[in-house]
């Protein structure tokens, strides 16, 4: 009985740390409800494509290996040098948020910050994955099977 209780508790603990991985259509629906389709001239397909290449739709994606010592967090890989604050380096913290908030399954704050990023002069070019894989390309496949 004791071992069953311990196994149950451990499985609950592990489940808390599992990432939410969106399907492209679920993400597209969520982004559409948050006003991302056409936001600052970028289509819903731009956002979905960027998220695929930045995090593979994983809300807990983390990259701590940037050449400048910064890290990237969450679904949109928001950078700690510019957009959020972590405990390791100084930051402009333009989104006024702790980076760890981008690693949970609630992407509302991620979306707010992503909107802040595209309002800067670089727009979506702030995301190198978008420049390399999405910019100027036919992105229709990203929403083709989604019922939007």
Is 54 part of the annotated catalytic residue set?
yes
- Do 80 and 88 contact (CB within 8 A), yes or no? yes
Give pLDDT < 50 ranges for the chain.
Answer: 1-16
Q: Is 87 helix (H, G, I), strand (E, B) or coil?
A: coil
- Where exactly are the structural domains of the chain? 21-142
- 14/17 Cα distance (integer angstroms): 5
- Do 21 and 56 contact (CB within 8 A), yes or no? yes
Residue of 18, 37, 46, 72 marked active site: 72
Domain boundaries 21-142, CATH class = mainly alpha
The tens digit of pLDDT for each residue in 10-19 reads 333 344 456 7
Residue of 18, 46, 54, 110 marked active site: 54
pTM of the complete model: 0.86
What residue has token string 């508790």? 9
| C-alpha to C-alpha distances, 127 to 4, 51, 63, nearest whole angstrom | 46, 10, 14
């Amino acid at each position: 009985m004791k071992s069953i209780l311990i196994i149950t508790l451990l499985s609950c603990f592990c489940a808390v740390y599992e990432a939410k991985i969106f399907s492209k259509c679920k993400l597209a629906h969520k982004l559409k409800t948050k006003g991302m389709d056409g936001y600052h001239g970028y289509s819903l397909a731009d956002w979905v494509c960027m998220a695929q290449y930045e995090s593979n739709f994983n809300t807990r994606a983390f990259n701590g290996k940037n050449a400048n010592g910064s890290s990237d967090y969450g679904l949109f890989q928001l950078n700690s040098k510019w957009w959020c604050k972590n405990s390791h380096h100084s930051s402009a913290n333009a989104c006024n948020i702790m980076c760890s908030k981008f690693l949970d399954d609630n992407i509302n704050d991620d979306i707010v910050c992503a909107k802040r990023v595209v309002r800067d002069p670089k727009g979506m070019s702030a995301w190198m994955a978008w420049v390399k894989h999405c910019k100027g390309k036919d992105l229709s496949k990203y929403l083709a099977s989604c019922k939007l």
